[in-house]
Amino acid sequence: MPYLPRFTAAAVQAAPVYLDADATVDKAVALIEEAAGHGASLVVFPEVFVPGYPYWNWTMNPVQGSPWFERLYRSAVDVPGPQVATLREAARRTGVVLVIGVNERGAHSLGVLHNTLLIIGDDGELLGVHRKLVPTWAEKLTWTGGDGSSLRVHRTAIGPLGALACGENTNTLARFTLLAQGELVHAASYIALPVAPADYDMAEAIAVRTAAHCFEGKLFSVVACSTVSPEMVDLIAGDDPEVRKQLARPHSALSGIFGPDGRPVGEPLVDEEGIVYAEIDLGRCIQPKQMHDIIGHYNRFDVFQLQVDNRPRTPVVFFEEEA
């Protein structure tokens, strides 16, 4: 019989202390302790929570945004590094499995930033470093894409856990790669997107994508989305009334927990800061899979085949000359 735990999950919806990695990590630690105090065994934070999202890519031209890229680079974190060590210790001390988004500096180039999700076990072990495969739209001005080596499901105290960042949750093949490894708990980290086109509702888009993955995979998803604080609006928009109005757009963030039927478990949180809690019982995943198990009987692997290159990619490969 597989291990099918019951536990409390926490989805954190909050704004970072913008472009201040140390202060944002301190805020994250306080929220981890708060969630653990309410009985949470899994705590999920937003995409690039440390130290924030590059909204200037959407509100400025590339030349105007370039100094902001440097500012984000200088404020980003190293993996491993002191901020990661603090987060690992917080997970160990509180006994929670932790998923949190960071801006990660590349090890080999000053021009490389990764949109990275850290997956940390309840013993403080760094289980996974997932780098967003494809930055979305204007994000390509900031982040370098990751590789397939981090598309992994981790065996944790709360069950088989996978994680994707924001638009990756729209990537059917990435999601299938996690499902095919037995994923039963999915962490989906997002950012508030008030700068989207006028006919795009970010909160609704998050709910649709989450429901799709839960219903297709018959699993639970914990969705954590950031918010935009007044301090962030002041910093990015300054006195520009149009940008201030844009960044204050409502219905730009949604966090919550969704079940294997695609429905929310409890009430999601929209726009406001807070923590959403819900009880997850992985035993609820069994019966729905009898109807649609797309990684089992409800597929035709003689017809369809997915190949994933999970080799880590490096800028250069040296072949030593044989003696």
Residue bearing the bigger pLDDT, 321 or 291:
291
- What's the rounded mean pLDDT across residues 229-247? 96
> Is position 186 within any domain?
yes
> Is position 249 within any domain?
yes
Q: How far apart are CA 67 and CA 42, in angstroms?
A: 37
pLDDT level of residue 321 (50, 70, 90 thresholds):
confident
Structure tokens at 83: 């901020």
pLDDT tens-place string over residues 130-189? 999 999 999 999 999 999 999 999 999 999 999 999 999 999 999 999 999 999 999 999
What range defines the domain where residue 110 resides? Answer: 6-291
- What's the rounded mean pLDDT across residues 214-238? 98
- What's the rounded mean pLDDT across residues 3-16? 96
> Is position 304 within any domain?
no
Residue 230: burial class (beta carbons within 10 Å; 0-12, 13-18, 19+): exposed
* The predicted structure's pLDDT at residue 178: 98
CA distances from 309 to 106, 168, 177, 295, 313 (A): 21, 17, 11, 19, 10
> Is position 120 within any domain?
yes
* The predicted structure's pLDDT at residue 323: 59
* The predicted structure's pLDDT at residue 3: 78
pLDDT tens-place string over residues 282-301? 999 999 999 999 999 999 99
> Is position 13 within any domain?
yes
Q: How far apart are CA 98 and CA 77, in angstroms?
A: 17
> Is position 100 within any domain?
yes
Total structural domains in the chain? 1
pLDDT level of residue 218 (50, 70, 90 thresholds):
very high
- Please give the model's pTM, rounded to 2 decimal places: 0.97
Q: How far apart are CA 116 and CA 143, in angstroms?
A: 10
Domain with 87 in it: what CATH number?
3.60.110.10
> Is position 38 within any domain?
yes
The C-alpha torsion from 144 through 129 and 280 to 177, rounded to 10°, is: 70
Catalytic residue numbers read: 47, 132, 166
State the DSSP code for 321: P
- What's the rounded mean pLDDT across residues 24-39? 99
pLDDT tens-place string over residues 98-139? 999 999 999 999 999 999 999 999 999 999 999 999 999 999
> Is position 299 within any domain?
no
Q: How far apart are CA 51 and CA 24, in angstroms?
A: 6
